[in-house]
Amino acid sequence: MRQGTPTLATHFEPLKARAFLPCFDHPSIKARFRLTVMKKWIPKGFVILSNTNPEEEDAERVVFKETPEMCSYLLCLVIAKLHWVESSVDNRIRLRVYIPQSVPLDNAKGCLMLVQKAVIFYEKLFGQELRLEKLDLVGLKALPPIAMENVGCLAFRLNYVILNGKTPVSRVQRIVRLVAHEVSHHWFGNSTSINSWCIVWLKEGFARYLEYLFTVYLFPSWDYWTDFAQGISDCAKQMDAIAASTHPLEPASPPTPSSITDSFDFITYNKGASIVRMLAETVGWSVFSSGVRIFLSAHKDNSATVTDFCNALQTACTLTHPPPFPPSSLGVTDTPIDLLTFRVEEWTSLWRTAPSHPVVFVRVVEGGIAMQQFLVPEPTRQVPFEVQPSLFTLPIAIKLHSANAEPTIHTVLLPPTATATEYFMPLPDPHCTVILNPHCASFCRVWYDSQLFPRILRTYSSHPSLTRLGLFLDCFRLLSVSSIQLQQQDRLPSWWKPRGHTGLEHQLYQLLAAFRDARETHNNVVSAAATAALDILHRSQGESCEEGVRRAVVGYFQHLLPKVKQAAWQEEWDMCEGQLGFERFKADSDLSPAVAGMVLSCLGSAWHSETIVFSRDLRDKLMESMSHADTAESDRPDLTVAVHAVKVCVQHGGEKDWWDAWHLYTWTQQPDDLEDDEPLPVTNVEPRDLSWMSVHPPVTLHGRVSQGYQLRATLLECLAASPHIHIAQNVAKLSQKPSLSHDTSDIISLCTGILQNTALIDQVLLASSARVIWFLIRLAPSFGSPLWLDRNEGYWQNMGAPLKTVIRSNVQITRAIIDNLKAVLPQ
């Protein structure tokens, strides 16, 4: 029961059902449950929900029907003051979406439509009807996870249920995926469960893959596999390359009860989904969809292993069944490898039991191309670079395009490094364009030689968005590694010794030039390019080439500034095509507000004068509009773009600019009882008590914050990265505030800014709290990559070089760390 609110809701996954009733909390053990709830202490007007419909109900109690056979963690009970909207699937399954009575019902209709579409989609995909009388989705203000797939009664955090014309597009997309994810579990996860907590990756990775299938099917105009490539696969590769943040998908030994929850992590979900997608593209959509049907049919109402899943796919390799959906409608391919010799379980065994992934080197040789794979280098290792052989068998698509001929795609299996030094492939035309992994489906990085890469860029604009995105992601991420390790070029293969620049740096500049010449506007590609450019600007600070790098970056992104200005003063575009029950204004700009803000930050960091002037004007209009409660929302600039404008102003301004950003940051802070990633509908929010620091007079801001978490992160990072010496102690005091001690996202943003602030890092570190110092130590080695905190890892050996130097050279800081870290370090 949440304090101060009359709501009760259970969440049992993975091992909490035993606290509710005597049971075996294990995914391979199933039972039927009949729940009886006494009404004596339940206020009138409250709704009582469980997995099934009530069988008996009177003034004293409600008895629910017996559940299907299911795992104990899928049992649920919800008691709250709710109202609902209702629909059905062919009058077989009653569908309802429940939300608190304080929220208008119109906000639940879009989610109800999604649930209905998802059930129909999966029934056709799996060839099985959903065998339930009812399927409820309950929106709750407080829920430990974002959502849970309880049988017949999905539980969602309220802010992932509400859909209307003002819901940010990024949140709409996340809700579509989340509904698809949880509904899919009713087939794989609930009816067919895993037999052990060791293989959570198969259940959750499969569901994450399915959520993208459904989203692409429902909204083909979103071009959503690019989001998978960037937000799922690429992020998983970054974390998988760092020893402290990765682990095998399947542990060598069963997890202990206390460690099972740790299995539900980023690697499990996102790398798991990436491996499932790679497998689907390897065997082809027809075989994969048939294999999934065979698997679910054979293990209905039972548990299954990875071997069972692989055997079902192996059986499907010998069959020919038309797929339930044509591949083009799902954005997938149906060009498998030679299935007669492919052994599914043998192929999956290493991918699920070993961490890391390969990088493929490809070069031109006489008569064709030669490919060789190695393990991707770890970006945080402070040791000389050594080529590590890859033991993976890697399926990878190769696209060949000759002049005056249609492109062809061939899928090959690259053998492990120990089996063959190089894999040779003949080319029909020695001058043809060769693109590896054109659909970003293989879980690997690709590194081209200096002959192949220019051929790809000559026809840059003709490549699909997935291909263009993959070029940026691989080039930039490998360059990030090379800046640390690949300087030991004597350890590289003899054929891979770049001349002059590092080969990857030169390729990235070539790629950005092609991006400029094609006047690229695709959101994901622009986002990847801006991320790469910001990294280039950061690494060039203080170097003799800094001014030249700035001019180059301005040239690459200047064509996007008009679209950034459009995005700053418009509503977000209608990407839902009327399918969720509401229409929305069609925007003129191709850029989403988040991507437009990244471009603004990029041009501002490059000292582009027009961008700086525009940012100051936008910041002033934002602060003016927020200072008047009666300002119409249409007269306010988009807050996401405007916050990036504030960041530019702080970077190029003075003390007043810093305090304007600070006031905006205090306004966007969320109440302590809200989750970090919830949107914040608030009006007339006074800044918090600032008496602990000497400040300019605070301002009262009015309005609605739609993306509080992301905006706070951007603002706090720029506050901490400010180059003004007199602000150092204020940042240090900020790090000691109690409000930050429990807010991980705020601390990460603060530390990210501090790490960029090399002029002040020693002053800030000296006065910072122990918790912030701990985060700095953990964040420094993976700066520029996703942070993964592993409290059992050797943190002292992995400190970043700049931070290590500061600590070792300052006795006061060293003593402060020794005295204060005991509270946060593991014993």
Secondary structure of residue 354 in the 3-state scheme: coil
More confident residue, 138 or 319: 138
Question: Measuring CA to CA, how many Å separate 87 from each of 108, 111, 313, 447, 576?
Answer: 12, 11, 36, 51, 20
pLDDT on residue 733: 58
> Looking at 272-276, 305-309, 397-401, 812-816, which range is the least confident one?
812-816
Instruction: Tell me the C-alpha distance between 138 and 49, whole Å.
Output: 9
Instruction: Tell me the C-alpha distance between 276 and 254, whole Å.
Output: 22
Q: pLDDT for 617-664, tens place per residue?
A: 998 888 888 776 666 666 778 888 988 999 899 888 887 887 788 777
> Looking at 238-247, 353-362, 702-711, which range is the least confident one?
702-711
DSSP conformation letters of 203-239 = HHHHHHHHHHHHHHHH-GGG-THHHIIIIIIIHHHHH
Structure tokens at 710: 């992301």
Average pLDDT in the 5-10 region? 83
- Amino acid (1-letter code) at residue 659: W
pLDDT on residue 434: 95
pLDDT on residue 825: 46
pLDDT on residue 44: 87
Q: What b/e readout covers 228-240, taking b as 16+ CB neighbours within 10 angstroms?
A: bbbbbbbbbbbbb
Structure tokens at 239: 């974390």
> Looking at 217-226, 310-319, 472-481, which range is the least confident one?
472-481
Backbone angles phi, psi at 447, to 5 degrees: -125, 115
Q: pLDDT for 366-380, tens place per residue?
A: 999 999 998 887 765
Whether 755 has a pLDDT exceeding 90, the answer reads no
> Looking at 21-30, 92-101, 242-251, 714-723, which range is the least confident one?
714-723
Whether 705 has a pLDDT exceeding 90, the answer reads no
Average pLDDT in the 775-799 region? 40
Mean per-residue pLDDT over the chain, rounded:
80
Average pLDDT in the 305-311 region? 96
134 bridge partner residues: 94
Q: Is 315:256 a contact under the CB 8 Å cutoff?
A: no
pLDDT on residue 405: 83
Percent of the chain predicted with pLDDT > 90 = 51
Question: pTM for the whole thing?
Answer: 0.86
Average pLDDT in the 49-62 region? 94
Cβ contacts of residue 243 below 8 Å, gap of 6+?
355, 378, 380, 381, 793
pLDDT on residue 745: 58
Whether 442 has a pLDDT exceeding 60, the answer reads yes
Instruction: Tell me the C-alpha distance between 620 and 659, whole Å.
Output: 13
Secondary structure of residue 113 in the 3-state scheme: helix
Q: pLDDT for 521-576, tens place per residue?
A: 999 999 999 999 988 887 777 666 778 889 999 999 999 999 999 888 876 555 55
Indicate the pLDDT class of residue 668, thresholds 50, 70 and 90. Answer: low
